[in-house]
Structure 1
Amino acid sequence: MPKQKRWHRHLWIISILYFSLGLFNILFAWLGLICIVTPIISAIMKNDKSFCYNYCPRSKVLDLLGHRLKLSRHKAPPAFLSHPWFRKGFMFLFFGTAFTIYCTTLIRIGGRPTQEILISLWQFHLPWTVRHINAVPPPLALFALSSYSAMIVSMILSIVTMLLYRPRSWCAYCPMGTLTQSICADNVKEQMKKAQKE
């Protein structure tokens, strides 16, 4: 691998930082928007999925665990995972569920303090407390919590898929990958098949 591209392999650090910072202050979850907006902009400007293949922190975590640490079985994933209907259905379900939970929570919070809401929703008992949250409007804090929860669920799904099949089998049905593919031209299909075989 050329020297100028070796730094790509270390982008998994971004995922570790994201989840770690989110545990100390849920507002850091807003940083996850970078990994949502960047691939969309890249797909629009370049008409390809170069972000997904080269710069996605999630894919680098899967490469690290599956290839370098050899935790993957390297088995072909089920064909339905890459079927267009499943991928699009999963994308709408993933984003739709997160949005529904967010809106439902907003309706039910009433006038409760933001910190109290986050503590009641967050199921993990941490040895530190959430600070300086009440200064933030509840919708912003709850959006951060919804985003963080969605990122945790998707990370768990991607790791389980990696353990059972190929390291980057998650890419076959990743909601962001499906979204960017719908933006790009048909040449993305060939790139996706190549990535799934890695």
Structure 2
Amino acid sequence: QEADRVLRKQSLLAWTKSSEPRLRQTIRLKSLAPFDNDDKLLRWLKNSVSQMGESIDFFCDQSELLAGDEVAGGDNSWRQDAMFRELIWLVRMMPPMLLLADLLLSLPTGPCEFAMAVFGFTGDYKRQWEKRLVTQCRNAVRRCFLRDLRRGRTPLETIHVLSFDDSDFERNLISELDLLTQDFDSIAQREIVVD
């Protein structure tokens, strides 16, 4: 680790001498010289990785919109300029991020976050994706209950199938059913089970 630290420090010092920091993020990195504090460098790197993911996501979105606008015949010069600025940002930020990449190995999810950012998957994107996934799962469970209702299956049987042999989970869901009829008393009860 000490050898990595010395190599990282010397590489960053050489990088700051050879490049003009024109971006706010690179100016901030240069202010961290002599690059002795790994915690500050790691915070800078995590922030930069997050921004890289957002930048790549923006680039991909604009690229799709640009392709659609070309078909429609719209003016795309502003979109091309924005994409070019994102490319410049990525080109200038990649060397220092790669020089500091070994710091990500100290985090449990560091390498994964870096890899996801390379593909444009940011924390916001992940939260939105998880929210959509939960919504789709709820809809699928609702459809399952409705389909089984049409087929004459009881909610008890549907719950048994959907609980995948997890008896504690199944008992918890069955507690929402009416004991005598083994059915839901209301749609609100069904929604509790769906959630």
Q: TM-score, normalised by structure 1?
A: 0.29
Q: Highest relative contact order (Cα 8 Å, sep 6+), 1 or 2? A: 1
Structure of greater Rg? 2
Q: TM-score, normalised by structure 2?
A: 0.29
